[in-house]
Amino acid sequence: MEGVSEDDLCWLQLDDFRMLLIKTIEPSRITPYLRQCQVISAEDEEQLFNDPGLVIRRRKVGALLDILQRTGVKGYTAFLESLELDYPQLYSRITGKEPNKTFSILIDTAGESGLTACLSLCV
């Protein structure tokens, strides 16, 4: 696709699964990881969970996807990693890959100790 940035291209590929994502995801399960990866802010999370226009879970997921789309490739990568962690079947369906629990964004933002802390909480 000529003239489409890498940021836009990754999210365009995910758009094919938008309805499935909206029907499946519980935002409160993935926002802690997304905050840890620094792709959403405390204000973003506050908006998702306290905006009176976002009382329906599906609307929250749609708003979360819109917020993440503005973060480009980093947000896309963190989002896929959150799916890999909390929704492995959905991750496999979208990517065609088996989950391997490698969290590259977390290593970049928190270092190895942050990854170790995250993984110890998951076990």
Tell me the C-alpha to C-alpha distance, in Å, between residue 26 and each of 3, 9, 70, 87, 109. Answer: 34, 25, 20, 10, 24
User: pLDDT tens digit string along 7-50?
Assistant: 678 888 888 899 999 999 999 999 999 999 999 999 999 999 88
Q: Which residue has the tokens 């964004």?
A: 105
Going along the chain from its start, the domains and CATH numbers come out as 6-122 (1.10.533.10)
Convert the pLDDT of each residue in 81-112 to its tens digit. Answer: 999 999 999 999 999 888 886 555 555 555 55
